[in-house]
Chains A and B, each alone.
Chain A
Amino acid sequence: MDKSGKAYWKAVLTLVAQILAVWFIVSYGAGILFAPELNSINLGGYPLGFWFAQQGSMYIFVALIFIYSYLMGKIDQKFDVHEE
């Protein structure tokens, strides 16, 4: 793999790691591990931990995929490996 190929792959992996970090924090973090603590906070009529587990994490998943698609498009352009 040439230099720009390596740099491209590194940029991709960095983005994936960042998205996965958010993915993990909202579902496993807020939705499971820290749900009991978050439940003492109220969001509308929802206990917050319960909201993350049964609503919020899913909204954030959707957003994450579109953010990923958009940023990947930019990385592809930058390294000139995008599709015509």
Chain B
Amino acid sequence: MSLQAVTYLIVGATFALYIGIAIWSRAGSTSEFYVAGSGVHPVLNGMATGADWMSAASFISMAGLISNMGYGGALFLMGWTGGYVLLAMLLAPYLRKFGKYTVPQFVGDRFYSKGASSVAVICLITASVTYIIGQMTGVGVAFSRFLGVSNHMGIFIGMAIVFMYAVFGGMKGITYTQVAQYCVLIVAYTIPAIFISMQLTGNPIPQLGLGGHFVGTDMTLLGKVDQVVTELGFGKYTETTRLSTLNMFVYTVSLMIGTAGLPHVIIRFFTVPKVRDARMSAGWALVFIAILYTTAPAVAAMARLNLHATINSAVKSGGDLFAEDASIKYDERPDWMKRWEVTGLLKFADKNGDGRIQYYNDKTKNPDVIAKVEAAGWKGSELTVNADIMVLANPEIALLPNWVIALVAAGGLAAALSTAAGLLLAISSAISHDLLKDMWMPDLSEKGELMAGKIAMAGSIVVAGYLGLNPPGFAAGTVAIAFGLAASSIFPCLMMGIFNKKMNKEGAIAGMICGLGITMLYVFAHKGLFFIKGTEFLGLFGGKENFFLGIEPNAFGTIGAIVNFVVAYLVSKVTPDPPEHIQHLVENVRIPRGAKAVDGSHIH
């Protein structure tokens, strides 16, 4: 069977599965629509959270990023997992005890203020909408590359599938589809990794293979990667950091607290029956996430070595990398390179006209490397490799069978669709519950609210699809913005709501606005007002990039969070304490006993 046919078969089978689940799990009440009736088993919720959390970026892009960054890529690994420790201990159990449908509802009730909940709704919708653009474009890329349909067609198919289980099933449909999607994506991710680890190290477990020996040599795999990349002028794989140690530190903090503050992740913990389950479920979520996240660095290093070995035969033989016949001839390149050149993710330019491919770091300052490059007559690196290839083309690079390649396509789609659905639920519940029911139409009946939720969901899918088809110019920076928003506004606000009984509405609102404001200011200064090119205003701050302690804009959420905490604390000291019943509410949230099923009513 041809690759195309196998891919259609496997992707079609997974889609049939998702639709089957959609038919089985329709939502009949607001409780089922918003929180799956709070009846999800903690282990299943852990799986669903894993799929909810691991997006197209985790599945497709992360290993490639680590592959390029080496050791410094660890900031994604630690940042996107360490947040679950915070979530498990600082937020999830308490918000589950509070027992309401949405995150803005907690903010509104705890800070006895519609203003506070409005700010939370704005943060939530902005964070989730920016995040969703990346998912939709990911769906389009996966479809067009693997199924040979146009980008647009791919997004339409993706929208239709999500529509079926998200609109009719709400959280209930999304939860059980996410469980299935987790299974698909984790199988799709680990199988190629196991094959490659076997080929390169003889050890089938990638996590151990990464620490193993490179087959046929007495060198460790990491030692071999280090040797090859440094000889070619790149930074040493196991030591290169991201800009600076301080920047890596702050970036990791941003991702961790951003993870803990992302509403579509938090609401997953409203679906379990008890407070105890919320704690355990966070643990299970991290188990399922860590299976992929500990595999990714192995994929990263092995793909890097594989790529160099494909282009330069001296990598395997251990000979001179700069020998003339070590670089492969362009005409003799493997088929997968030809296939990926078509997509533009891989580009070759024969700069020195010798018909062979030279791939090295032509910006290196290492004099030894420069001398060797000159002696060999190399005139610049001739290959441009998009980081996403490391996962997408990995099975082809390792010459794995067609069904594995097809599986990767299904996995990438599962990752993108599951995250998109979770985000869509966070957005539509904020619209139908926090805006419509709580602010504009308090008399709305349960049935009316359920219908409103479904309409809001359908509307959000259309908007997300539109943004996927016409990605705004700022699409590339969007995920970082979602984390910056969550880290600088939502996380501190929720934490203070639980851990500081005396925190009042004035403090919380001032904190959120200042935290968010300064983060956006820093990002906009670098990337333009609302990401419009040409409106950067770095000049106001001396014109130097990363002007604040060398911290890059993506990492600035941490600073925003600190500002949020400090401002909130100071303002709360000079304004009246929160009312007595709010302080009792906080005391009540802190103990597990008395946890009820989640509902939508208010305490005041």
| A contacts, CB < 8 Å to B | 1, 5, 8-9, 12, 16, 19-20, 23, 27-28, 31-33, 35-36, 39, 43-47, 50-51, 53-55, 57-59, 61-62, 64-66, 68-69, 72-73, 76, 81-84
Residue of B nearest to A79 (CB): B591
State the interface size on chain B (CB cutoff 8 A). 49
Least CB separation from A57: chain B residue = B78
**Which among B77, B222, B283 is the interface contact of A65 at CB below 8 angstroms?**
B283
Q: Given contacts A12-B590, A45-B220, A62-B290, are A19 and B81 in contact (CB under 8 A)?
A: no
Minimum-distance CB pairs A-B, first 7: A45-B220, A53-B74, A65-B283, A44-B211, A45-B211, A54-B297, A81-B591
For B280, the chain A residues whose CB sits under 8 A away are: 66, 69
Question: Which of A20, A51, A72 is the most central at the interface, judged by chain B CB atoms within 10 Å of its CB?
Answer: A72
Given A39-B238, A53-B77, A65-B282, do A81 and B85 touch, yes or no (CB 8 Å)?
no
B77 neighbours in A (Cβ, 8 Å): 53-54, 57-58
Highest count of chain A CB atoms <10 Å: which of B73, B213, B221, B290: B290
The answer, yes or no, to whether B252 is at the interface (CB within 8 Å) is: yes
Contacts of B252 in A (CB 8 A): 27-28, 32
Q: Which residues of B contact A (CB under 8 A)?
A: 66, 71, 73-74, 77-78, 81-82, 84-85, 88-90, 93, 207-208, 210-213, 220-223, 238-239, 245, 248-249, 252, 274-276, 279-280, 282-283, 286-287, 290, 293-294, 297, 587, 590-593, 595
- Pairwise interchain contact A62-B283, C-beta atoms closer than 8 A: yes
Check A68/B279 contact, CB under 8 A, given A27-B252, A81-B593, A83-B593: yes
In the complex, what residues of A have CB within 8 A of residue B591's CB? 5, 8, 76, 81
Contact B592 A83 (CB under 8 A): yes
Distance between A63 CB and nearest chain B CB, rounded to angstroms = 9
List, in ascending order, chain B residues with CB within 8 A of A27's CB: 78, 82, 252
- Supposing A46-B222, A57-B82, A82-B592 touch, asked if A66 and B212 sit within 8 A by C-beta, the answer is no
Report the minimum CB–CB distance from B213 to chain A (whole Å). 7
Q: How far apart are B81's CB and chain A's nearest CB, in angstroms?
A: 5
| Complex-state Cα separation, A62 to B50, whole angstroms | 13
* Nearest CB in chain B: distance from A20 CB, A: 7
Q: Choose among A47, A69, A76 the residue that contacts B88 (Cβ–Cβ < 8 A).
A: A69
Please, which residues of chain A bring their CB within 8 A of the CB of B239? Answer: 36, 39, 50
Q: Is the CB of A58 within 8 A of B294?
A: yes
Nearest CB to that of A13 among chain B residues? B499
CA distance A32 to B244 in the complex (A): 10
Q: Is the CB of A50 within 8 A of B222?
A: yes
CB-contact partner of B71 in A12, A45, A54, A64, under 8 A: A54
**Given A61-B290, A81-B592: A55 and B207 interface contact (C-beta under 8 Å):** yes
